C-alpha cells in the first residue's frame, strides 16, 4: 500500500466478530488480501469470549451492533473479566455509526482503533499498522482498563494529573474534534 510500511501479516491470528455473516466474510476477505492466514470468526460477543478461551488471537476486529453481547460490552468484558486469557489483545471496532459520542464511547470501552463501515482493505491495513507501529501502554483505574486513550503527548497548560496523582483517581476527558477526525481519516 502506497506510503505505508509493508508488514508480513501471515502469522497474525485475527478474530472477526460480527453477527452479519456477509460482513464477517468481507472482513475476512480483506484480511486475506492483506496476507492474514489465521482467521477465526464469531457471531457475537458471547461466542467471541468463549472462542478466545481456547483459540488465542493477536487482534480482534469487532462490530459494535450485535446481540446478545454487543461490541462495547464484549470489549469491556474482554478487558475486565477474571477469566480472560488476554485482556491486552488489540481491538478494532467496526461500526456504521461515526458520531462523536459513539467514538468516545468506543474509546472508553477499551478499543485500540475505530473503523467506519463500509471498510476497505486499505483502511483496515492502516488500523493494523497503527496498532503495530504505535503500541500503547495499558491504563488501569477504578472505571477504565484498556490502552492509553491519548494518542499524542500534548503538553498541558495545567497540572498533569497522570504524573502527580494516584493512577486510580485519574479521570480523563473525551476526544477533541481533531482527534475524532484523525481516527476516521483515511
Tell me if 89 sits within 8 A of 17, measured CB to CB. no
Q: Say how far apart CA 5 and CA 179 lie, in whole Å.
A: 23
Q: What is the mean pLDDT of the chain?
A: 83
Poorest-confidence range of 52-56, 88-92, 159-163, 171-175? Answer: 171-175
In degrees and rounded to multiples of 5, residue 128 shows phi and psi of -65, -45
Q: Which of the given ranges, 16-30, 138-152, 170-184, has the highest pLDDT on average?
A: 16-30
Point out which residues pair with 15 in neighbouring strands: 40, 60
Position with higher pLDDT, 4 vs 108: 108
User: 138-140 and 145-147 as β-strands: parallel, antiparallel, unpaired?
Assistant: antiparallel
Q: Say how far apart CA 162 and CA 42 lie, in whole Å.
A: 37
Q: Which domains are delineated in the chain?
A: 13-173 (3.40.50.2300)
pTM of the model: 0.78
Tell me if 72 sits within 8 A of 45, measured CB to CB. no
Identify which of 98, 48, 93 has the alpha carbon closest to the alpha carbon of residue 68. Answer: 48
Instruction: Report pLDDT for 168.
Output: 39
pLDDT digits (tens, 9 = 90+) for 89-100: 999 999 988 888
How many C-beta atoms lie closer than 10 Å to residue 131's C-beta?
18
DSSP-based three-state secondary structure for 26: helix
Position with higher pLDDT, 18 vs 172: 18
Q: What is the DSSP string of 73-112?
A: HHHHHHHH-TT-S-TT--EEEEES---HHHHHHHHHHT-S
pLDDT digits (tens, 9 = 90+) for 64-88: 999 899 999 999 999 988 888 899 9
Instruction: Report pLDDT for 96.
Output: 87
Amino acid at each position: 500500500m502506497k506510503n505505508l510500511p509493508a508488514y508480513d501479516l501471515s502469522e497474525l491470528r485475527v478474530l472477526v466478530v460480527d453477527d452479519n455473516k456477509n460482513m464477517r466474510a468481507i472482513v475476512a476477505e480483506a484480511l486475506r488480501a492483506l496476507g492474514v492466514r489465521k482467521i477465526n470468526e464469531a457471531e457475537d460477543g458471547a461466542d467471541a469470549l468463549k472462542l478466545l478461551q481456547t483459540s488465542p488471537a493477536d487482534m480482534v476486529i469487532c462490530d459494535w451492533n450485535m446481540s446478545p453481547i454487543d461490541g462495547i460490552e464484549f470489549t469491556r468484558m474482554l478487558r475486565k473479566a477474571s477469566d480472560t486469557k488476554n485482556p491486552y489483545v488489540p481491538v478494532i471496532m467496526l461500526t456504521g455509526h461515526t458520531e462523536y459520542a459513539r467514538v468516545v464511547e468506543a474509546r472508553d470501552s477499551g478499543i485500540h482503533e475505530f473503523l467506519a463501515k463500509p471498510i476497505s482493505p486499505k483502511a483496515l491495513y492502516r488500523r493494523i499498522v497503527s496498532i503495530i507501529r504505535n503500541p500503547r501502554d495499558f491504563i488501569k483505574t477504578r472505571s477504565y482498563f484498556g490502552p492509553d486513550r491519548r494518542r499524542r503527548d500534548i503538553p498541558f497548560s495545567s497540572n498533569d494529573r497522570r504524573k502527580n496523582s494516584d493512577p486510580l483517581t485519574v479521570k480523563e476527558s473525551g476526544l477533541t474534534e481533531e482527534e475524532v477526525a484523525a481516527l476516521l481519516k483515511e
